[in-house]
Amino acid sequence: MKRALLIALLLFCSAAVFAQSITINDLANISNLSNAEAHNYLTLGKKFKRQYIQDVDGNSIEHLNKVGPDNKEETIVIGVGSKLSSGTILRTVTYATSTSQHIINLIGQAKHMGLIMKLHGSDAKNDIYLFDNDFFHIVIFLNHDNISGSVEVHQKEYLGFD
């Protein structure tokens, strides 16, 4: 009995050590937020903190790192976007990690969310997964060496009929 309890405790602890800080749903939600709202969403939970801000063509692009001892393991970039003639800004959120299991988990989450996988291919460096729906275009890169990867969530212009 004690041995089974010890094994269960070890499995629970190891799962907590390797838990990622963000889900595919979080990344999609962040792409709908203004820069300030996205910053607050990521930092108020104390999961991420600002690493630096860079100014690119008048846009403030913010780079955030995961808070904790492995703070270089996960990064998020917010503030990238394109402005439409209507004034609407379509935002892009980029997430990168040095843990391939996080990317594999995000691929599973995208499939579970019901996103349509448009492509599963590869280039010289990465396996590439393209997911799509009416609101988002998500590109997931998993390095062939299975060491790292990244996710780009691109907000789409929704042409709904009222």
pLDDT tens, position by position, 97-120: 998 999 999 999 999 988 999 999
d(CA 69, CA 48): 12
User: What is the structure's pLDDT at 67?
Assistant: 81
| Confidence (pTM) | 0.82
User: What is the structure's pLDDT at 82?
Assistant: 86
Q: Would you tell me how many other CB atoms lie within 10 Å of the CB of residue 138?
A: 25
User: What is the structure's pLDDT at 13?
Assistant: 40
d(CA 130, CA 65): 25
Task: Point out the residues of the chain with pLDDT beneath 50.
Answer: 1-18, 161-162
User: What is the structure's pLDDT at 30?
Assistant: 93
Let me know the angle formed at the C-alpha of 22 by 39 and 8, rounded to the nearest 5 degrees: 145
